[in-house]
Structure 1
């Protein structure tokens, strides 16, 4: 008797789910990819959000490092940290980003938020010209220092996110939220425009403190709804196996 082929193997591309038409890129965070069908979808934008000290920038740097090990070019756009600080932070975990800068595979692009006039054009053109497959934008929270008018601030953020979705890269953006805030971002617009939201929390009880990770939203992905313990070790972040909160 001949073995029957799975039905999905005979489906034309046009009939396949949208997620199947774009490859996924691994997160670089041990234990995370299996919680979201193998990784981040190409051409999508994701928000990494949380309060101060939860590991947002570290998460993004680890994502970029993972890509470099797989031959995927990356760009780190920073409105906060200077390039030398990004390099130093990476060295703590054994990530030699400078080697990839010298090879022409990685860029750390610092932009002074008070001097740049059109961040959307700069970011979009840089990604396309460099051919980046992984991009980090750190951080959307700085927009509040630049645009005092709330309407203008929200409009600029919306334009930036929509422009990034037109590239071929996976985009991670960070957003810092205030302590005790019930929102997912500082300005309440990012989470509605992006394709996914990962929330990092810092829980402290007495002398014991724990970081956690929750995939709050991820379009076209069957993802876990649980909160997991997030550990920082010598090699960076990792999900503590089978430990939910």
Structure 2
């Protein structure tokens, strides 16, 4: 979908379904209840960047740096060798978030402007800030400023605890951070036994073609999180429906579609990422735009004259779901016949006869 260079997250399996990684200067929110492994995601994301020549900034609103590095080592990530060299910690004790966002972090961004090395930022967790600010408008303003400031350093990963009520898909307390972030991943934990009792779902990923399934994941010491995914449909498979789209675009043009609608169809063609045919989707779209109504032959001729030429082979509107268009007097109506039947009739060269006299003449 996008030609923009992607930055790998380092989360095994996740990058396969988000076009290779995240975009630079964006925020990725990892949401989940206790025990889903949010901090492991953060450490793995940070460690990958450090191992590939990036700097790291870890903003902790709960644990001190020593404890974070100790827990990272238990997972197989040795952050000690980067400490105060490529890796820096900012330990906020949660007393004054306004000062943190308004003064300290902007000063840090300003000081970093002279460095060309990319900095990968972690906020783990954002929860204390959310709990400390009850007013939703104030919460939104400070989170907006926080995200905007940190994105100037590089890609940002934020974790936050959610407390969903029974029946809620996602907890109400995390809706504002999800809305303000560029991407959001939801982690769930279902203690039902078996290897895969944790699952990941991509809630949003701006300007990114991403997977839409629920993906199980496990923790592997020395590796971290491993998400069980399969790659998105290949570029070769995506292009196999180009002919269907081209016919649909020609048909829409012949039926008098506006330039804006034709542009939308081209955009859909370029970004179609599903492993199934777009025929049904195109039919529904044509219906929503009023392009499947009865069209007289006279109207078609006028439209062709207006265009100045006869279009190439069309994709009949009804054919989008397996039918053809049938001429009944001077009106063209969708007739959902079987393509094979119509094809056989054409191959046999059937002749239309209006009366028995014509038949007798033909026999003679």
Q: Are the structure 2 counterparts of residues 54 and 185 from structure 1 closer, same or farther at C-alpha, using a change threshold of 3 Å?
A: farther
What SS class does the counterpart of residue 20 from structure 1 fall into? coil
Alpha-carbon deviations, 1:33-58, whole Å to 9, x = none? 11110001101111110111101111
Q: 2:129 aligns with which of 143, 154, 158?
A: 143
Larger Rg: 2
- More off after superposition, 122-131 vs 60-69: 122-131
Q: How does 1:1-245 map to 2 (within 5 A)?
A: 19-21=2-4, 23-102=5-84, 104-121=85-102, 122-130=104-112, 131=115, 132-165=118-151, 167-179=152-164, 180=166, 181-183=168-170, 186-205=173-192, 210-235=197-222, 236-242=224-230
Structure 2: tracts of 5 or more residues without a match: 231-364
CA distance in 2 between partners of 1:184 and 1:125 (Å): 33
| Larger strand fraction of residues | 1
CA contact (8 A) 1:90 1:96 kept: yes
Question: Scaled by the length of structure 2, what TM-score is found?
Answer: 0.57
Alpha-carbon deviations, 1:11-54, whole Å to 9, x = none? xxxxxx7x434x32111111111111000110111111011110
Alpha-carbon deviations, 1:111-158, whole Å to 9, x = none? 111145422242343245345521011222111342243332232122
Q: Are the structure 2 counterparts of residues 71 and 80 from structure 1 closer, same or farther at C-alpha, using a change threshold of 3 Å?
A: same
Question: Scaled by the length of structure 1, what TM-score is found?
Answer: 0.82
Alpha-carbon deviations, 1:40-97, whole Å to 9, x = none? 1101111110111101111011000000110000111010121111101110122111
**Structure with higher RCO (Cα < 8 A, 6+ apart):** 1
Q: Are the structure 2 counterparts of residues 87 and 239 from structure 1 closer, same or farther at C-alpha, using a change threshold of 3 Å?
A: same
CA distance in 2 between partners of 1:157 and 1:191 (Å): 11
Structure 1: tracts of 5 or more residues without a match: 1-16
| Larger helix fraction of residues | 2
Alpha-carbon deviations, 1:179-206, whole Å to 9, x = none? 4443366242111121100111101226
How large is the RMSD of aligned CA atoms in angstroms?
2.3
- More off after superposition, 216-225 vs 113-122: 113-122
What SS class does the counterpart of residue 200 from structure 1 fall into? strand
Shift of 1:162: 2.5
